[in-house]
Structures are given as C-alpha cells and as structure tokens.
Amino acid sequence: MILDTSFLIDLMRGDDGAEEKLRELEERNVKASATFINGFELRAGALRYYDTEEEMEKIDKALSSIGQLYMVP
C-alpha cells in the first residue's frame, strides 16, 4: 500500500490515529511504502516552512520506518 504524504505528515506529528492505522496495517501484514514523490513533497515543505535540519531528520526517520521508497510510474 502506498501511503499518502498527508498521512506521513500525521505520523511525523505523532497523530494517534495515524500511528494506530500503521500498526493495524503491520498486524495485517500489509506492506506500507512511500514514493520518491512523498519524499520530495515532505522535503520541499521542510525547506519552505520549518527548521530545516530538525525537520529533515524527522522526515528521514518517518521514511526509514516505512522502508524502501518505490518509484511509481
């Protein structure tokens, strides 16, 4: 299952509902993944709005917890 960028943002913010949904997917053995587009969108937002270094670390942590990024045509 490819995750939406807004869902990834919720995970990074520690949203209980998003974390619960991710645990549910893991329990059902659903492979959650992200695309390079998610990574781009998250990093573009971080560069524009946030303390870049800290936000980039959060992004890297969130994406690494999901696993490999897939290139979707």
Strands 34-35 vs 69-70: parallel, antiparallel or unpaired: parallel
For the chain (73 residues), the mean pLDDT of every run of 10, in chain order, is 91 91 91 86 85 83 71 48
pLDDT at 66: 76
Query: Which residue type occupies 39?
Result: G
Q: Taking the model in full, what pTM does it have?
A: 0.78
Contacts of 14 (CB under 8 A, 6+ apart): none
> Cβ neighbours of residue 32 under 8 Å, at least 6 residues apart?
1, 3, 22, 25, 26, 66, 67
pLDDT at 41: 92
